[in-house]
């Protein structure tokens, strides 16, 4: 990890509030999430690498909503982190409790860069959910831009 002479890690106020609540014993905020979820959502590659490469944590555990770290990252549009997680074995075909995959989230946010990466990895873009296909999510995104 970082040496003592390196720049300290910075985190969002939300993460600081979460850590304070955990320190105070309010573990209900965890919702089944672990350190990887928060590091990935903050696009903190240094911590992601430490957790996956040094501590050998599983890259695809689900939280109470059925989301993996990759789902969280796809919604927050941190493409470098998403690529890293996939390269470390994260499965973009895993569905959350609503039946949605990373393809749905990237299509719905108009994240063409992540969609291109997913296509280059051979991810199925015709995956269906009860909420529709990624194409429907993409069309919805485009209609909101017009």
93 inside domain: yes
- Looking at residue 95, its pLDDT comes to 92
Mean pLDDT value across the chain: 80
89 inside domain: yes
**Which tokens belong to 13?**
């106020």
CA gap 33, 65 in Å, rounded: 10
Q: Which domain holds residue 61?
A: 13-145
Domain count, the chain: 1
How do residues 97-136 score in pLDDT, each as one tens digit? 988 899 888 888 888 899 899 989 998 877 777 777 766 6
83 inside domain: yes
Residue 30 C-alpha from the chain's centroid: 16
100 inside domain: yes
CA gap 123, 12 in Å, rounded: 32
For 8-26, b/e burial (b = at least 16 CB within 10 A) is eeebeeebeebeeeeeeee
CA gap 62, 71 in Å, rounded: 10
5 inside domain: no
pLDDT at 58 over 60: yes
- For the ranges 12-16, 81-85, 142-146, the lowest mean pLDDT is seen at 142-146
The most distant pair of C-alpha atoms in the chain lies apart, rounded to whole Å, by 51
For residue 81, what is the domain's CATH number? 1.25.40.20
CA gap 84, 87 in Å, rounded: 5
């Amino acid at each position: 990890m970082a040496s003592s002479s390196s720049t300290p890690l910075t985190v969002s106020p939300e993460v600081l509030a979460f850590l304070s609540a955990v320190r105070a014993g309010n573990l209900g905020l965890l919702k089944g999430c672990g350190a990887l979820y928060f590091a990935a959502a903050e696009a903190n590659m240094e911590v992601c690498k430490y957790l996956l490469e040094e501590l050998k944590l599983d890259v695809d555990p689900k939280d109470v909503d059925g989301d993996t770290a990759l789902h969280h990252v796809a919604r927050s549009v941190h493409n470098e982190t998403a690529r890293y997680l996939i390269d470390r074995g994260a499965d973009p075909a895993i569905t959350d409790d609503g039946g949605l995959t990373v393809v749905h989230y990237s299509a719905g946010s108009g994240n063409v860069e992540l969609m291109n990466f997913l296509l280059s990895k051979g991810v199925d873009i015709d995956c269906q959910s009860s909420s529709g296909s990624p194409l429907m999510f993409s069309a919805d995104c485009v209609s909101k831009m017009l």
